[in-house]
Amino acid sequence: MIMNVPDTALRSTGAARTPSPSPSPSPAPAPAPTPAVRQADGMAVASFVFGLIGLLAMNLLLGPASIVLAALALHRGTSRPGRARLGLALGIADLAVLAWLVSADQTWSWSTG
């Protein structure tokens, strides 16, 4: 027959109780980005996408839009500066491709045939 031994009996017999480990303090969660930084992140992504699409079509419109969005994102302190710089480079490349096409065809409109 098993009997429950009261806690005082354990202390009186000299049996040591192991203390339960205290929980370690959990790291504080990262602060949520402010709306201005989130907006700047969106501008950096949009700049990259506009620059990429602008290499294929509508580079007259998407190139300058990509450059402006990248400059605004970098000015507002985006957490994605690499993507904003890449959007800036792609926007400049869009305008370089446009200049090359205009000099090759001597016209602002270009076609595949």
- pTM: predicted TM-score of the whole model, two decimal places: 0.65
- Is residue 65 within 8 A of residue 91, CB to CB? The reply is yes
Look at the block and give the residue holding tokens 């294929």.
56
CA–CA distance, 105 with 99 (Å, rounded to integer): 10
Q: Give residue 15's pLDDT.
A: 53
For residue 48, what pLDDT band results from cuts at 50, 70 and 90? very high
What confidence score (pLDDT) does residue 63 get? 93
Whether residue 53 contacts residue 28, with contact meaning beta carbons closer than 8 Å, is answered with: no
DSSP state of 3: -
